[in-house]
Amino acid sequence: MSSKNVEILRNAHQAFNAKNFDQASKLVAVTTKVIDHGRNLTLNSRQEFRGWMEAFFAMASDIKLVDAHYIDDGDYVTAQFRAVGKQDGPLLAFPASQKSFSLDVCEVWRFNANGEAVEGHNYSDGLGLLIQLGHIQPPM
């Protein structure tokens, strides 16, 4: 049986897939610290977190989180999943490639007693994503 925090995170991922940003952003506390390690980006509020999620749909309107596995460790939950979709919008300075991608992601979240994430870490392979989308060539 899953813990309360695993269910909160799973529900947030399902809300993300449904483009329900109001529900998905409730994962984090109003004041939080979420680090996107692949982009060296720190988000400090629920509103910044929501904008971060919305940016993924601007890059790939069909993006989905799939094959998720969750590890419960009390106040901490780790999630491993793939983000899949087709890049039909710009990604930073790179134009839409119309190519499909599959990005491995790992997240680690720390929850408070109210079931809100007060700290989050997102790890993904940005270099691999740019290679898959044809924006850069693989290193030789």
Q: In the chain, where are the structural domains located?
A: 4-132
What integer pLDDT is reported at residue 140 of this predicted model?
83
Q: For the chain, percent helix, then strand, then coil, each to nearest 5?
A: 30, 40, 30
Confidence class of residue 139 from pLDDT cuts 50, 70 and 90?
confident
pLDDT, mean of residues 34-60: 97
The dihedral built from the CA positions of residue 38, 2, 15 and 110, taken in this order, carries a sign that is: negative
User: Beta 76-86 vs 28-36: how paired, if at all?
Assistant: unpaired
Whether the Cβ atoms of residue 79 and residue 68 lie closer than 8 Å to each other: yes
pTM, entire model: 0.94
What integer pLDDT is reported at residue 6 of this predicted model?
97
Residue 2, pLDDT above cutoff 80: no
Q: Is 138 exposed, middle or buried (0-12, 13-18, 19+ CB in 10 A)?
A: exposed
Residue 122, pLDDT above cutoff 60: yes
The CATH code belonging to domain 4-132 is 3.10.450.50
